[in-house]
Amino acid sequence: MPGEAKPDFSKWHGMDRATIQWGPVIDESKCVGCGLCVIQCSEKRNVFGYDEEKRKAVVLNPENCMVGCNNCQVACLWDAISFPDVSGVKSLAKELVDSGKSKEELEGRLKKNPNLRLQLPPRFFKRASLEIVRPSRTVRILP
Amino acid sequence: MSKTWHGADRANYIWYPKIDYSKCTGCGLCLLSCGNDVFRWSDQKGVPVVANPGSCVMGCTTCAKLCPEDAISFPDDPKNFLKQVIIKEKVFFAVKKELKDRLDKYPDHRVSIEDVEAWKKAEKGDANARRS
Ligand code: SF4
Ligand code: SF4
Ligand code: SF4
Ligand code: SF4
């Protein structure tokens, strides 16, 4: 939209996004041009372009791709999209935790948005895994 | 109105993260990474809680991929799950329209592959020129 500031994806938790190996690559010979990847990606990030004449998707803004996401790859029935191995971003995630950066960011987020805090009864945590879902509906637990 | 996924009713499908609290260390990365307001935070235990499972994006596993402890799991393999939804719901009618809408709204994403390749080459050339 005119006049609207473009979101800045140049940093990922303080790291320079350009140094992080993560983004889709399309094998044009497999792409049938269904278009699903294009709209799987959010409007905000809008990583893909589309060639209507050739009927193929094309990676336009790889630097906007969200680190750790591969929703476009998952949706492609023709397996035309590939990503780098996930171990790279997993070790970056570990760095964020070990350096205390994630804790710091979390505290900031909770301070800014106190509604994220929940009070839950202790029995809630008795089970190792938790299910609070009725399949047909989103259950909102708010304090 | 409930959410839809390319025409399919989101409420008919089960897709949300499950946290194994015996593994979770409370680092908070999952909450920080999710752009869909799925998690809340429990101060008593210092751990995330899946509070809005219906807001989780169908087939997404971003938080699980980033979780350093591999404490997050999903009901199915994401690719297998989405494939079934795509086929059962015949989503490509909706996809075709959504694709057109997206390209109408962002006309600079209506491209030719040759042009994009030429831009990329030029960009690389620029970067090389700057380096030398
Ligand atoms: S989802 Fe796969 S086949 Fe469809 S346009 Fe994207 S890359 Fe091509
Ligand atoms: S991985 Fe996610 S953010 Fe990246 S291009 Fe695919 S849908 Fe977009
Ligand atoms: S990313 Fe994993 S370990 Fe960290 S808070 Fe979330 S579930 Fe727990
Ligand atoms: S899978 Fe994606 S949408 Fe769902 S909770 Fe994790 S990051 Fe959020």
A80 ligand 1 Cβ < 6 A = yes
CA B37 to centroid of chain Cα atoms: 13
Ligand 3 atom closest to B26 (CA):
5
Measured distance CA(A30)–CA(A33) in Å, rounded:
9
Helices (H), chain B: 29-33, 62-66, 78-89, 92-105, 113-131
User: Is it the case that residue A142 has pLDDT exceeding 50?
Assistant: no
B38: nearest Cα among B52, B28, B20:
B52
Verify that B66 and B101 share a domain, yes or no: no
Residues B30 and B7 in one domain: yes
A1: pLDDT confidence band, cut at 50, 70 and 90?
very low
CA A118 to each of CA A22, A80, B40: distance values in angstroms, whole numbers, following the listed order: 33, 42, 6
- Write the residue in A42, A105, A119 that is nearest to B32 by C-beta: A105
pLDDT band at residue B110 using 50, 70 and 90 as cut-offs = very high
Q: What CATH number does the domain containing B77 carry? A: 3.30.70.20
Alpha carbon B107 to chain centroid, angstroms? 23
Residue with tokens 């809340």: B40
**In chain A, domain spans:** 1-118
Is the domain of B64 the same as that of B18? Answer: yes
Q: B77 is in which domain, residue-wise?
A: 1-90
Grouping H, G, I as helix, E, B as strand and the rest as coil, residue B76 is: coil
Measure the CA–CA gap between B65 and B73, rounded to whole angstroms.
10
Name residue A117's beta-bridge partners: B41
Q: Which of B55, B62, B99 is closest, CB to CB, to A39?
A: B99
**Residue B21 pLDDT > 80:** yes
The three-point CA angle A86-A87-A91 to 5° equals: 120
CA angle A129, B51, B13 (to 5 degrees): 80
Interatomic CA distance for residues A21 and A41, integer angstroms: 18
Same structural domain, B51 and B115: no
Q: What is the CATH number of domain A1-118?
A: 3.30.70.20
* DSSP bridge pairs for A110: none
Q: Are residues B82 and B104 in the same domain?
A: no
- For residue B44, the one-letter residue type is Q
A134: three-class secondary structure by DSSP:
strand
Q: What is the mean pLDDT of chain A?
A: 87
- pLDDT band for A132, please (50, 70, 90 cuts): very low
Question: What is the count of structural domains for chain B?
Answer: 2
**Which residue minimizes the CA distance to atom 8 of ligand 2?**
A41
**B125: closest CA of chain A, how far (Å):** 17
Tell me the percentage of chain A whose pLDDT exceeds 90. Answer: 76
Q: Alpha-carbon distance A9 to B67, whole Å?
A: 21
Q: How far is B118 from chain A (nearest CA, A)?
A: 12
Q: Are residues B4 and B52 in the same domain?
A: yes
Label residue A1 exposed, middle or buried (CB < 10 Å: 0-12, 13-18, 19+): exposed
Q: Which of A56, A99, A51, A62 is nearest to A84 (CA)?
A: A62
Is B80 found in the same domain as B97?
no
Q: Give the mean pLDDT of A35-55.
A: 97
Instruction: Choose between A31 and A5: higher pLDDT.
Output: A31
